[in-house]
Amino acid sequence: MAEDFLADNNLCGQTLLRLVSRGHAIIAELLRLKDFIPPIFQSDQNKYHEIILDFRYFKEQDAFDSKINGNDLLMELDEELRKNYIEILTRFYLAFESVHKYVCDLNAFLHEVEEGMYIQQTLETVFLNDEGKQLMCEALYLYGIMLLVTDTHIDGPVRERMLVSYYRYSVQRTHSNSKLDEVCQLLRSTGFLKSQPGRKPQHYPEEYFRRISIVPVYLDVVIGHLRSDDIYHQIATHPHPDHRSTALAQQAAMLVICLYFTPDILHNQTAKMREIVDKFFPDNWVTSVYMGLIFNLVEVWEPYKAARMALSNTIQAANVKEWSIKHCNQMEQLIKHLHQLLKEGVLTEEFLLDNMQKLINLIRQSNVTLRWMLLHSNTLTAGAESLKKCRQVRDQVLLDTKYQPVTVFELLLDCAELELNVRETFRILLTEKRSKWLLCKKECIERLTELADVFSGAKPLSRVEKNESLQLWLREIAQQVEALNYEEGTASGRKMVQLISALEEVQEFHQLDSQLQVKQFLTETRRQLHQMIRTANIREDFLITLQIVSDLSYAWLIIDSYTSHMQTAIRKDPSLVGRLRATFLKLSSALDLPLMRINQARSADLVSVSQYYSTELVSYIRHVLHIIPQSMFALVEQIVQLQTNVIKEMPMRLDKDKLKDYAQLDQRFQVAKLTESVSTFTEGILAMKTTLVGIVRLDPKRLLEEGIRRELVRRMAKAMHDSLSFNAKARNSDLAHKLTSLGETMEGLRKSFEYIQDYVRIQGLRMFQEETARIVGYNVEQECNTFQTDHIQDWQSKFQSTAVPIPRLPSNDPHSATFIGRLAREILRITDPKTTTFVPSTNTWYDSKSQAEVLNFLLFSQLEQALSTSGLAGLDTLFAFMITTELTNLFSDLKKEVFRHQDSLEVLAEFDHLTAPTTTILGQPSKTYGTYCTRFHKSFQTLLDRVLKIGQLQLLRRSCSQQLKSTASFDSGLLWQALETLSLSVVNDVVRRDKSSSSISTSLLPELAEYLHWSGLYEPFEKIYVATHSLDLPYIPHLLLLFIVSNVHKFTYSKQLASLVSKRPQDGADGTPFVIGSATLFRHLGSASTQACCSLLIQFARSHLEFGAR
């Protein structure tokens, strides 16, 4: 019947199966998304708080929209929010909508069944089928889990804010088939907050579950079957009466969830609740409802009178004590027994075949005890902690079980290892079952035939007389053995038992005991027949039972509390990693629950759901094993400290009387000992075989490398974050000192890798450089986000990684998001053109007042030593983004303050008319130009600040490029020359190529640009940062002329410094940044505007010269 119900041609069964399969996929998606909730929706303390609204928006929609549309700043923020978050908001909405669609499809299916849409299928017939009954119960249960997972991991206010934002930014709300209103109604805030789990709203979660009504008859039938039946037939795998609650644990979890749909049973129906508790919870009160989500019934049933009363017998002190002591005693005995079985050479194939039932009983009992201990000793939630009864019961359990986490962990470790050994050995036996059975059969026939020949007299054997009757009988027995058929297991088994009995009888009847060789032949024949019987009893049912009883899905989350004990054990004995492999494989059994139905339905969701749960498990394994690279780094730090500060460097020539001083045997022995410890840790993790966890294959070598990378990234990121913090108000900067300190730290890490790489078999230098570049790249990327509206989120970043994540550390600077931003702003602060003077000939900045040196070209060498080439290139990239931002703001300011005002345009038009043509000489130029400059004085002050900032940034970029160029040409001269040649070739090709020819490969230019950037083969002054062809800036040459004229009096040319310098320090302007900034601005305006402005400047100079001469 089960096969018929799930057959491809059974539309009813397939529809229900696909629905349940979809339910598991939806839950996986909700669990996946919980880690990607944007922080801006979780807190009001951000710049978007005025435009991120909850459901109050729908009551005053017009007022909120008017407020946003009437404020330019809010409109910009609104557009920025839409650009950056519409993708993730859409993903969340589709997940929310799928929950609503799921329950609507469930109701639709029930109505179709009731109306007879499926031939010969009614609600009753579906529940009469085993698979149908299971799927119908699972369908309701999964809907309840969806609601709980959504509310547990995504707070109600957060859901409302995301739904409102999606509503405002998405075009879907205009579609006629949009379900947005219904989704909002279903998933509006319940009042429950995960930050306040102890304060549950009244009538929660039953009111939440009641928001979409489900067919009442269906609810009653589901709860009836869950209450009375063994729908999964699990009692057969747990035949002992004390194991019944464990056998029915999954069904009990489903019942706990489904009861929320009919809260009247929980409140008022005492008899039914007593029946439920007596059947499912006579010896337990903590259950896992889905993938490790734990319910303490003492807490969750507290608001329900009937449920609370029914559970009171279970949590009586006497009952709790009885079960606690029982499991405590069993745990001690089980650990002893498991230790004996895990000794080398005990668990052989012969032992397994002889003791299959004993082993499965031991494993079953171990898992029952382990389950009870893990669940009932688990740390209470905040809600349960607030209830006195919960605390009392748990304290009693901890006291009576003499709870020691290490002991429970030992039981878990031993049990998992035994299960793995039994499973692997049994699989080998199952694979070789046929060949072994046939081999035993062949040997039996050969021995019987050989013995028959002995009694025939053909093969003389000492003291064995010829016996024709025995000869004929043995040949007949041999023929019977030959007639045994492997495929007919039952009949052959009975026949083999008869043959063994016959061989024993003939040995006694013919008094063959005295003939040792004959006796040995008969004994070996009987042993081979016994082996054939045992081999025939090898069935896959054993593995299925083993898989069921060894389930650890309930500990999917609880296992986190034992991580510290695992890591402590690994630190003491790295070889334990090999044994932990069994525990990780046991934990992967949790994947069976969500994947079974998806696999049965042949759903396309199988890969994504498998990938999610497998990745989660692999992340946990990485977390546990991360103690190995942590310990290795701690040891290497000691080694480097000894080698650097303690052990003396051996000179080229040495007097023999000083040899003892340089030998330093004790210190060198300490280094050797620490190195041996590092190698031991490496061997520990490499001892773990390649393991398939879900659908992810774990390679121990790669796991070790990722762990080392993760610890390296953590240390480097922390060093950079801690070192590069500055006091913006300090008179004298400590930038050089901090860079030196950071450089020493990074050099220490590099030396650590150089020393360790041979002992752990890794490419240390490559790893060090790759991770440094990744850290810098990620931080530059995050810092650049502050300059653009299209932000790159962590999950979109090419630098971020799940296996080796780059930590995002909080910045103590309100203007900078990362250390690279703080560094850039500190350099800008100390080289501010308002307080410093730049001397091009020495590439040095001096204080304008004291003439003291502030910063020179050596700083960029220090930067490269501290942050490597990638750090200097990253800093240069950030400067480029800052220039882009300054230019964008400059043009925006000009448009707002000048070109949008008609009176300003009229003044410029008047000035244009006055200066046309530019060959004319103006009378009284000082007065004429001064009059027009005064009209734009306010705008020019802002413009001056931006031009100086652009010039300052350009000078810093040129210093970066010079340092990069110097390093590249010195350290890798051939590569540098090759890049220079390729760059020139590409440029020449672009310039000379015919218009009809194909363009250069689009993949070559970006890759080449990156190489050129890192090699310093670029000229910042010639870069175009902003596209200006679409800007409408009339009379821009005249405006810039007036700008230059209004500021030129502040500068004078210094012959000694060969550059333009400020006349007075209080003017707050340096000549070189002013010139470079103005040149950059002209370059962006095009040659026509530049030539026009130059003509006006010539006219200005000639007018002053002519007027002065007069």
Per-residue pLDDT tens for 695-706?
Answer: 777 788 888 888
Q: Which amino acid is at 381?
A: T
Q: Where are the alpha helices (DSSP H) in 785-849?
A: 819-830
Identity at 110, one-letter amino acid code: L
User: 1: pLDDT confidence band, cut at 50, 70 and 90?
Assistant: very low
Q: What angle do CA 1089, 1091, 1093 make, to 5 degrees?
A: 70
In whole angstroms, what is the distance from residue 345 CA to residue 357 CA? Answer: 20
Residues forming a β-bridge with 847: 836
Range in 772-781, 840-849, 1064-1073 the model is least confident about:
1064-1073
pLDDT at 502: 78
Produce one character per residue of 581-604: b if its CB has 16 or more CB atoms within 10 Å, e if not.
bbbbbbbbbbbebbbebbebbebe
Residue found by looking up tokens 């903590």 in the block: 286
pLDDT of residue 1009 exceeding 50, the answer is: yes
User: Under a CB-based contact definition with an 8 Å cutoff, are residues 267 and 305 in contact?
Assistant: yes
Q: What is the predicted pLDDT for the residue at 2? A: 44
**Lowest model confidence (mean pLDDT) among 6-10, 149-153, 923-927:** 923-927
Which of 425, 437, 416 lies closest to 348 in space, CA to CA?
A: 425
Q: Give the 3-state DSSP-derived string for 71-123, with helices as H, strands as E and coil as C.
A: CHHHHHHHHHHHHHHHHHHHHHHHHHHHHHHHHHHHHHHHHHHHCCCCCCCCH
Q: How many CB atoms lie within 10 A of CB 236?
A: 11
Identify the pLDDT of residue 1048: 86
Strand bridging mode 853-855 / 844-847: antiparallel
Query: What value does the mean pLDDT take over residues 58-83?
Result: 88
Q: In the structure encoding, which two tokens stand for residue 643, read together? A: 């080698």
Assigned token pair, 867: 């942050």
* One-letter amino acid of 1086: G
Q: Which ranges of 573-604 does DSSP label H, i.e. alpha helix?
A: 576-587, 592-600
- For 840-992, strand residue ranges (E) read 844-847, 853-855
Asked whether 323 and 625 are in contact (CB, 8 A), the reply is no
Q: Is 474 exposed, middle or buried (0-12, 13-18, 19+ CB in 10 A)?
A: buried
Lowest mean pLDDT among 294-308, 442-456, 733-747, 820-834: 442-456
pLDDT at res. 390: 92
Answer yes or no: is pLDDT of 597 > 70.
Answer: yes
What's the chain's Rg over C-alpha atoms? Answer: 41
Q: How many CA atoms lie within 13 A of 764 on its CB side?
A: 14
Looking at the DSSP assignment, which residues form a beta bridge with residue 232? none
Does the pLDDT at position 493 exceed 80?
no
Amino acid letter, 101: K
CA–CA gap between residue 949 and residue 832 (Å, rounded): 8
Q: What is the chain's percent helix, strand, coil content, to nearest 5?
A: 70, 5, 25
Among 25-39, 431-445, 455-469, 1005-1019, the minimum mean pLDDT is found in 455-469
Q: What is the mean pLDDT of the chain?
A: 87
Highest-scoring range by mean pLDDT, 42-46, 115-119, 227-231: 227-231
User: Has residue 62 got a pLDDT over 80?
Assistant: yes
- Residue 191's alpha-carbon distances to 161, 204, 304, 561, in angstroms, are 14, 9, 19, 29
- For residue range 752-766, what is the model confidence (pLDDT) as tens digits? 888 778 877 788 888
- Tokens standing for 233? 């037939």
- CA–CA distance, 452 with 817 (Å, rounded to integer): 92
Over range 1021-1042, report the average pLDDT.
87
In whole angstroms, what is the distance from residue 277 CA to residue 271 CA? 10
pLDDT of residue 508: 62
Average pLDDT over residues 910-938: 86
Q: What distance in Å separates the CA atoms of residue 1110 and residue 1108, rounded to the nearest whole number?
A: 5
Handedness of CA 927, 931, 934, 936 (dihedral sign): negative
The better pLDDT of the pair 928, 91 is held by 91
Report d(CA 1049, CA 1100) in Å as an integer.
Answer: 13
Q: What is the amino acid identity at position 66?
A: S
pLDDT score, position 175: 60
What pLDDT shows up at residue 354? Answer: 84
Overall size of the chain counted in residues: 1110
Q: Quick one: average pLDDT of 861-877?
A: 93
Cis bond before residue 805 (omega within 30° of 0)? no
